Amino acid sequence: MSQIDTQSLMLQMRSLAAQAQAKPVEELTESSQTGQEKVDGFSDLLAKSIEGVNTEMHKSGSMKKAFEKGDPDMELSEVMLQAQKASLSFQAMTQIRNKLVEAYKTVINMPM
């Protein structure tokens, strides 16, 4: 059985949430250590991360459509960059989902 590092997993989740909200990761870890800011639950963090990925995907799609229609303000480099951002955030979300499923299976299969 593989050992799951929960702190590493939570740091990855915070990093994704920070990317979705365009906040630096250091700001999130500092606020959680000082206790000054209300700590969101795990489900809130996960929902925000998924919402951020969804926003990136929609933004990429709308930029692609605008470029295809010949919008003079839309440059190919911007469209490609946004498409790569959306793809990367989706891949990261998929990897986190896989790790969470693996952790769930590990916990379920633990002997009592």
> DSSP string covering 46-91, please?
HHHHHHHHHHHHHHHHHHHHHHHTT-TT--HHHHHHHHHHHHHHHH
pLDDT band at 2 (very low <50, low <70, confident <90, very high): very low
- The answer to whether residue 31 is domain-embedded is yes
How many folded domains does the chain comprise? 1
- The answer to whether residue 69 is domain-embedded is yes
The three-state secondary structure class of 108 is: helix
> Model confidence over 57-90: pLDDT tens digits?
999 999 999 999 999 999 999 999 999 999 999 9
Cβ pair 80, 4 in contact under 8 A: no
pTM of the entire predicted model: 0.58
- The answer to whether residue 1 is domain-embedded is no
- The answer to whether residue 33 is domain-embedded is yes
Domain span at 81: 6-108
User: What integer pLDDT is reported at residue 36 of this predicted model?
Assistant: 47
> Model confidence over 28-62: pLDDT tens digits?
555 555 544 555 677 788 888 899 999 999 999 99
Residue 95: is its pLDDT beyond 90?
yes
